C-alpha cells in the first residue's frame, strides 16, 4: 500500500516511524451505503470533479463514468479527505507543504506507520487520486505514493504550510524540487515536526481517556 515512485534500497517505508506494538486488528472496511441515484454531473467539467481534462467529456458514456466515480468517492470518503485536494477548499493542502501520513500495511495487524515529506504532486484521478511525498534518507531522495481513498490510510496531516510563492501558484506538480531546493523547507527538521505532532497527539489522547474515565465514575 504505499507504492514507490522512485527506486529504493530496501523494502518497506524508508524514514517511516513504526509503532513497536502490532496493534489490534481493524474491523472490515465497509464503505458508506450506496446512493439511491447517481449524482447528476451533466454540464460539469472534469476539472471541477478533480479529474483530468477530457476532449470527449460530453459523450454519454464519459458522463456516466464520471457519475459512477463521484459516487464511489462519496462512499469511500470517511473523514472528508476529498477536501484536501479540492480546488478552492479551505482545507486544501497545496504542493510544497510538509505533510505527514499515518497508515497501516495490514488491517489484521494494524501497526501504525508514519511517513512525512514535501507534497510534491497531487494526481487527480477521481477515486484513484493519490499524493506523492518526497523526503531524504541518508542523502538519497525518496518518494512515496499514497492512494488518497485507500482504507489503509488512517490520517493525513499538514505539518507545515507551503511557502507563499508556491501556494500562490497552486500547481498540482512541483517535480522540479528533485533538482532544486523547495522554498521554505528544511528536510532535516521534518523528523522533528513528526515527533512534536505525535507527542501532542498522545497527550490529547491521554486527556480524552482520563475525561472518559471520570465521566464513567460519576
Owner of C-alpha cell 521534518: 190
**Does the pLDDT at position 9 exceed 50?**
no
Residue 163, SS3 per DSSP: coil
d(CA 136, CA 139): 6
Same-domain status, 47 and 112: no
Tell me, yes or no, whether 111 lies in a domain: yes
Q: Please give the pLDDT value at position 15.
A: 59
**Does the pLDDT at position 11 exceed 50?**
no
Same-domain status, 141 and 122: yes
Same-domain status, 99 and 205: yes
Work out the number of other CB atoms within 10 angstroms of the CB of residue 94: 20
> Cell numbers of 2, please?
504505499
14, 44, 77 - which closes a domain: 77
Tell me, yes or no, whether 87 lies in a domain: no
Full domain range(s) for residue 138? 3-27+93-217
**Does the pLDDT at position 19 exceed 80?**
no
Same-domain status, 38 and 143: no
Same-domain status, 201 and 166: yes
Q: Are strands 17-18 and 3-4 parallel, antiparallel or unpaired?
A: unpaired
Long-range contacts of 187-195 (CB under 8 A, 24+ apart): 187/118, 187/135, 187/136, 190/98, 190/116, 190/117, 190/135, 190/159, 191/15, 191/116, 193/98, 193/100, 193/116, 193/159, 193/160, 194/17, 194/100, 194/114, 194/116, 194/159
Which domain CATH number covers 22? 2.30.30.790
d(CA 183, CA 98): 11
Q: Please give the pLDDT value at position 158.
A: 96
- List all residues 6 or more positions away from 37 whose beta carbon is below 8 Å from its beta carbon: none
Instruction: List, for residues 147-159, the tens digit of each pLDDT value.
Output: 999 999 999 999 9
Amino acid at each position: 500500500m504505499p507504492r514507490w515512485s522512485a527506486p529504493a534500497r530496501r523494502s518497506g517505508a524508508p524514514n517511516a516511524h513504526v509503532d513497536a506494538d502490532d496493534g489490534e486488528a481493524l474491523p472490515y472496511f465497509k464503505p458508506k451505503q450506496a446512493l439511491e441515484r447517481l449524482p447528476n454531473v451533466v454540464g460539469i467539467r472534469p476539472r471541477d470533479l478533480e479529474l483530468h481534462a477530457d476532449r470527449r467529456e460530453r459523450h454519454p458514456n464519459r458522463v456516466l463514468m464520471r457519475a459512477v466515480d463521484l459516487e464511489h468517492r462519496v462512499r469511500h470518503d470517511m473523514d472528508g479527505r476529498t477536501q484536501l485536494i479540492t480546488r478552492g477548499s479551505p482545507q486544501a493542502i497545496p504542493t510544497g507543504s510538509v505533510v505527514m501520513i499515518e497508515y497501516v500495511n495490514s488491517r489484521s495487524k494494524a501497526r501504525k506507520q508514519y511517513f512525512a515529506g514535501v507534497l510534491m504532486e497531487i494526481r487527480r484521478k477521481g477515486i484513484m487520486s493519490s499524493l506523492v511525498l518526497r523526503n531524504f534518507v541518508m542523502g538519497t531522495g525518496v518518494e512515496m505514493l499514497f492512494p488518497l481513498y485507500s482504507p489503509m490510510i488512517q490520517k493525513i496531516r499538514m505539518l507545515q504550510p507551503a511557502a507563499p510563492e508556491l501556494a500562490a501558484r497552486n500547481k498540482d506538480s512541483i517535480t522540479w524540487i528533485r533538482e532544486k531546493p523547495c522554498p521554505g523547507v528544511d528536510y532535516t527538521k521534518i523528523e522533528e515536526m513528526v515527533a512534536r505532532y505525535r507527542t501532542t497527539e498522545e497527550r490529547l489522547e491521554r486527556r480524552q481517556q482520563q475525561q472518559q474515565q471520570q465521566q464513567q465514575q460519576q
